Structure formats: structure tokens, C-alpha cells
Structure 1
């Protein structure tokens, strides 16, 4: 079987500054998504669904919660060779530096990979939302005779300026590469795409940051310490010298690189037919199995809402919003265009009384929350108004951050009653 010859390497990314403050005390792959999952669950689930069950997750910032999530979630048979291991940047006798880029992360971790028997390395990003059968990618890689394959995504000229654009020949072999071309430079970089993509004006192939390497080539390339990044150095330098294949993917895919893209991806799940299908039994998304009670609602009008388990909701209205696990929302509160991440625990009546807690975990009564992300374990008092939108300038305080008009209330923040933004 092909998948027994594949080792998956999931790149957790750097400090995740563009997703701050969601990455203030957690690594990017550990950021909660869709109310009950973590970002890292996406590539791991894609691997499991493709029967690729040997995975390393590389990270170096705030990896404690990621370690805990993976340890508590992904258990395989004692007699199986399957595993999901987190590798954080580590000082060794030969190297005392942090990871300097995606390729450097693989280079520094190579001694761990080589303890395993594999022929192909599948290199994935830890911050993307998509569902892909990697078996098809691996098979096309082998059939093409390539030493490297790059998963590519057809985009239009406007979106193409934000990606590395690849040009292919009639055999889907990559002949040239340009990094984030402007609107003038991108002309002439069209590649052959399907008729459906042509009809949508998507003539350009963007690199998805998903790669397949033949083992020996990867080992050889990692012996050169002058290159630190796959997308900016390794792949462009290999084109024309090595056979590099383009695997076109036409399903849903989005890069969760910024607060805005993260926000849009989550709210997109509330669509009648979401582009990212959480209900496909053949492409399940796996996560930590929690023994939570059912969600309880009282007097709430719901419209285009995704609600996770274990919530206690008395809001008057929730619309175009995602509500995460254990969320508590008080009476007469209105939630619109928001991602409420929920909480990691319940407060008991005894704890509330003993500690004289004035503002409970969750959202109080008569609040109005719009265009906002409320991170986990936040305490929002009564009569609070948070109205995000383009009228707000980017800013940061101890309690919240505003990015592109989206208000992000920080994890564990306490917003006093009567607060208005």
C-alpha cells in the first residue's frame, strides 16, 4: 500500500503574529475552529482519512496546549505503527537556534524522521481549511516520475497577487515560478486548468504549501543549510533542475493566516450549504472526544447558527454565528456575525458563591455582540455592547484587539458590565 510508504510532516508555523491575540498563549495549530475543533485537526484528519497514520507536527511557540490536545485526542492501537508526535524546536549540540523557516524546521527535525521507514514525505501546513484525499496526490506524484510535487489551487488574477504562482507545461510539470506578482506581472502566467475553473476566471495556479518529496531528494536538500524556506527557496530553486509536478486541487481550500480569513472561514460554516463540509462521513474531522451534555436553549431565535455541545443559552437572538463548547449566554442578549469560542470548564454554583464571582464565564444579560471573536474563558458582564465594523481603527488593549474591523476579546479577559465599544 502506498500510504505505508508515506511520512506526514505538519508544519505548525512560527509565532502566528497575524493571528494574534488568538496565538498569544497557544500555537497556531492549537487555535480553536468551528466551535469544537483545533486547526491542527484538519491536516491530521485528512491524513487519517487517507490512511496515512504516521505524523509529526512541528512547532516552536506556545506548544503546551497543542501537546495536550494531541496527547488526549489521537490514540491508536498498541499493535499499530500509527502515531501523531509533536516536535518542538530543541537545542542540540549541532544546532542551538530556533527554526528559521519551514525547510529549516524539517532540517532540524530530520534525525527524528529518519528513524522511520518511508519513501515519500508529505509536507503540510497546520493552518489551512480543506479536505483532500492525499492518496490521489501521492499516486499522481509517483505516476508523473516527479521528485517533488506541489499541490496547486486555481485562482483568479486578483487573488493571484497574494500567492506564489506556478506555470506548468502540457504534462502538468512546473516550468517556472513567481512570488506574489503584481497585477501587471501576473499577465502571461496562465496555466491549463479545467473548463469549470476557466468559467470562473481562475487561470492561475497558486501553491497551496502542500508538498510531496521523494525521501532521498529531501535528505539531499536538507544537507544544504543555506536554504530555510520551502515556498521561497527550495521549490523555486528545484524548478528546472528537478522534475516538479503540479497536482491541481479544485475543492474548497482557504489559508487561515489572518484574523479576517479566520473569521470568514468560521462564519462560512453557517451557510445553508457550507463550502467546508463537516457532515461528510468519508471525510470526517476528528478531535478530542468530550463527554459533554447536550446544548440547552431557552427563548432563543436562531438563524444560520452553528452551536457546539454543552452550551447553556438564553439569548434572545443568535444569527450568522458560531457558538463553541460550554458557551453560556444570558437573557435578552443578541449575537450576530460572531464566533464565541466558549470555555474549557463550567463554574459550579458552589464556586460562584465561595469565590464571590461577580462576572461569570460567558456572556451576560442584555448584551449586543456584533462582528466579534470572543476567545475562550472570557467573562463579559451585563449590558455590554461590542459592535465591530470598518468604523473601528486597528488597536490593542489589555482586554481586546481590533483587526480589520473585527473585535477580538482576549482569552480570559474580563469585560465589565456596561462596557460599550
Structure 2
């Protein structure tokens, strides 16, 4: 395994490659992304037609020259483990580079699962120590961004006294409530850290001259010695809630301001909007950058087949078959079949894991989307079979709803994975 070594300064690259270990947190239960996370973890959720969310932090790390990666998993981890194994299998030629899954496990010293972000890292400290890194880079498994993490590391190294660095992103005041807000001082040192404030008065002193606030992105660099020290207190289980507020009182903690696109995929609405943003002429999160590609599983699929279809502002993944249908501002996943007369607007159709049969003579509705359907403002999860004449429109404009076929969350229709919707169903 070896990615783009030539794009990074050789001296710095050797230093970083030997001394940096990336730890990617596989996420919690992801309840706010239900039903997409009923049978998979958040980082395993499909994104952009052909990717998984976990591909984003892994690709950022690889593109930055950091090729020693641990992915920590716990909840609904089978799909995530399988994807990482199939996509990033170790290359025996470059034995110092690896991407390895570490699942939560019971040991002689602990019978508990991961109980928070900090606790997860604490429980894998034996594996971290084996690698003997000088620095540990901690990433979240369910965020969207395209960051030069090597520049983040260089910023950490400018001041040799820096022990912890936080990547921060400027956010407007209406977003501060779900984030950790920081106040910086001389040299971008962090003087105050407030996790998920209840009101603006708590963070008014943190407001920047632009009127915005600096939010913790959940992306950290720790000197390994410092990481071990801050994790000694077994009662502290979360970086944002407990470790960092205490660390800024005792350690040299520094902010790194990242001014690019960053999105924490925490809700159905955030997931929906982040996917549809990809259809913009110049999206804020751009998949079409040669120097920093996003890697995912290579599939030997045929080209997309378009038979007299209208496609406008859409991402259409490989192996898809579009028959006399219309697709507007939507993302369509791999192998998806969409039949005659169907119209899809502002929706995410995640695709199929296998083609299956298109024959309806057996009485079963085949996988894919049948004839004369209309789908708007929806997310159709993988391997769904949608019959003919189905209307997914949320005509009553309800915010929350659930029946045996669909769920509406934040006004968005979600069809859970493996759902079969009968002919003529309307909502």
C-alpha cells in the first residue's frame, strides 16, 4: 500500500511516515441517522453513489502521506469491517504501511466496550505503543472534508512546546449548540473550550471579529507521551466533554484553523444535503481533484447504460441502467435499475449489491425502481424493490412519519434497506 509519496517533500515525508499513527474512530450507535444505521455503522453508510463515509478520512490520511492507520469499530461493524478489508487490503511490499481494523474486545484488564471517544483510544493504547509513534493523529469516521493533514502536522511542529493540536472550523452562531467551541490566544493557543453550549452567552467571549465561532472538528494531533498522560484517568471517557477542557488547563494546546468545507454527518438532513451538494456545478466538497482522490472499493462493473433517459445535474454510478426515465439533481448508486416513465427529483438512490432478475412473472417485485414512479426529496437505501406507479412525495409535508414501507425524518422520505414497496403505493 503506497499512495502519492512523490507529492510530499521527501525529508518531511520520511519523518511523518515513521512517526505518525492515524487512529480513525468508527463512530457510536448513530441513532440520529436511523434507519440508515439500523444494520451498519455511520462510517459504513454509502455516500456519493459509490463511496462509504469511512473512505473520506482514510483517503485524507493516505493523501497526506500517513499510511499507518487503525480503524476502531464497535457498533454494527460487519459492513464496515468488510468494506475496509476489501478496499484497503495490505500490500506486502510496503510492510510498514497498513490499514487495520481494531474491534472493541473484552480483555483480562477490561470487559467493557468502548464507552466514548477517549475510552476507545485508551483501550487500544497497547496496539498504539507497539507502533512507537511520536504523534497520534485522531480522525472521525463520519465527516466530510478534504484536508492536507500534513500541513496540520507541520503547524503542530512549529512550536516544539505544543502537545495537542485541534483542527477548527469557523461556524455561524446557529451551529454552535452541537459543537465544541474554542477561544484562542497568542499563537493560536487555546484558552477556553466549551462543549455543546446551551446558549450563546456561554460562548460570547469566543466570538471572532467576523462574528463567527471556532468549532472543534474532532480532528486531533497528540504527542504520544501526552496522549498516554491525558488518558490515565479512567473516569474520563470523551475527548470533547472531558479530556480537552481539562487538558487546556495543564497542557500546551493549539488550534489549527481549517478554512475549507467541513461537514459532520450527524443527521438525516445533513446526510441528504451533503449528497445533493455533490450535484452542484462546483460543489463545496469536490470529488474531482486529481491530486487528492478519494479511494473506495474497485468493482468490475459494466458502464452505465442510458436508454432515452433525461439526466440533469446528477451523479450516476457505474453499472446503472436508466430506461426512458428522468433524473434531476439526484445521486444514483451502483447497479441501480430505473424503469420507463419514472421521475426522480432531489433524491439519493443508493443502488444495488447485485442485479437480480427483472422478471415480474414470478410475482415478486424485482430489485430496482419500477415503471411510472415519482420520487422526490427521498433517500432510497440499498437493495430496495419498488413496484410500479409508486409515489414517494410526502404530499402532506409531514416532518415525522413511519409505516411498514417508509419513514419520514426531518421531512425527508427514507426507504430502509431491503424494503419492498408494492405497486401503486403513495405517500
Shorter-chain TM range is over 0.9
Matches within 5 A, 1:289-328: 289-328=298-337
- Tell me the residue number matched to 2:168: 152
Q: Is the 8 A contact 2:16 2:66 kept in 1?
A: no
Matches within 5 A, 1:90-101: 90-101=105-116
Cα displacement string for residues 212-237 of structure 1 (whole angstroms, at most 9, x for unaligned residues): 00001111222210100001110111
Return the alpha-carbon distance in structure 1 between the equivalents of residues 250 and 16 of structure 2: 26
Q: Is the 8 A contact 2:164 2:220 kept in 1?
A: yes
Cα distance, 1:174 vs structure 2: 0.2
Return the alpha-carbon distance in structure 1 between the equivalents of residues 200 and 18 of structure 2: 43
Match of 2:342 among 333, 342, 345: 333
Match of 1:48 among 52, 62, 76: 62
- Tell me the residue number matched to 2:374: 368
Are the structure 2 counterparts of residues 337 and 2 from structure 1 closer, same or farther at C-alpha, using a change threshold of 3 Å?
A: same
Cα displacement string for residues 197-251 of structure 1 (whole angstroms, at most 9, x for unaligned residues): x3xx4x3100000000000111122221010000111011101210000000000
Cα displacement string for residues 245-300 of structure 1 (whole angstroms, at most 9, x for unaligned residues): 00000001100011100000000000011011101011100000001111011121
Matches within 5 A, 1:101-120: 101-120=116-135
- Tell me the residue number matched to 1:187: 204
Which stretch shifts more, 253-262 or 140-149? 140-149
Return the alpha-carbon distance in structure 1 between the equivalents of residues 136 and 396 of structure 2: 43
* TM-score in terms of structure 2 length: 0.93
Q: Is the 8 A contact 2:357 2:367 kept in 1?
A: no
- Tell me the residue number matched to 1:246: 255
Return the alpha-carbon distance in structure 1 between the equivalents of residues 363 and 164 of structure 2: 57
Match of 2:193 among 177, 187, 205: 177
Cα distance, 1:398 vs structure 2: 3.5
Matches within 5 A, 1:71-82: 71-80=85-94, 81-82=96-97
Are the structure 2 counterparts of residues 114 and 396 from structure 1 closer, same or farther at C-alpha, using a change threshold of 3 Å?
A: farther
Instruction: Mark the runs of 5 or more structure 2 residues left unpaired by the alignment.
Output: 1-14
Cα displacement string for residues 95-134 of structure 1 (whole angstroms, at most 9, x for unaligned residues): 1112110001111111122111210000000010000111
- Tell me the residue number matched to 1:343: 352
| Other structure's SS at 1:238 match | helix
Return the alpha-carbon distance in structure 2 between the equivalents of residues 415 and 348 of structure 1: 16
| Other structure's SS at 2:254 match | strand
Match of 2:33 among 14, 19, 22: 19
Instruction: Mark the runs of 5 or more structure 1 residues left unpaired by the alignment.
Output: 193-197
- Tell me the residue number matched to 2:293: 284
Return the alpha-carbon distance in structure 1 between the equivalents of residues 364 and 382 of structure 2: 18
Q: Is the 8 A contact 1:174 1:244 kept in 2?
A: yes
Return the alpha-carbon distance in structure 2 between the equivalents of residues 157 and 27 of structure 1: 30
Return the alpha-carbon distance in structure 2 between the equivalents of residues 140 and 390 of structure 1: 52
- Tell me the residue number matched to 1:165: 181
Return the alpha-carbon distance in structure 2 between the equivalents of residues 224 and 282 of structure 1: 42
Return the alpha-carbon distance in structure 1 between the equivalents of residues 330 and 408 of structure 2: 18
Q: Is the 8 A contact 2:357 2:366 kept in 1?
A: no
Cα distance, 1:314 vs structure 2: 1.4
Which stretch shifts more, 122-131 or 218-227? 218-227
Cα distance, 1:139 vs structure 2: 1.0
Cα distance, 1:367 vs structure 2: 0.2
Are the structure 2 counterparts of residues 76 and 98 from structure 1 closer, same or farther at C-alpha, using a change threshold of 3 Å?
A: closer
Which stretch shifts more, 17-26 or 154-163? 154-163
CA RMSD, Structure 1 to Structure 2 (Å): 1.5
- Tell me the residue number matched to 1:406: 412
Match of 1:212 among 210, 217, 221: 221
Return the alpha-carbon distance in structure 1 between the equivalents of residues 395 and 189 of structure 2: 44
Return the alpha-carbon distance in structure 1 between the equivalents of residues 295 and 122 of structure 2: 29
Which stretch shifts more, 66-75 or 368-377? 66-75
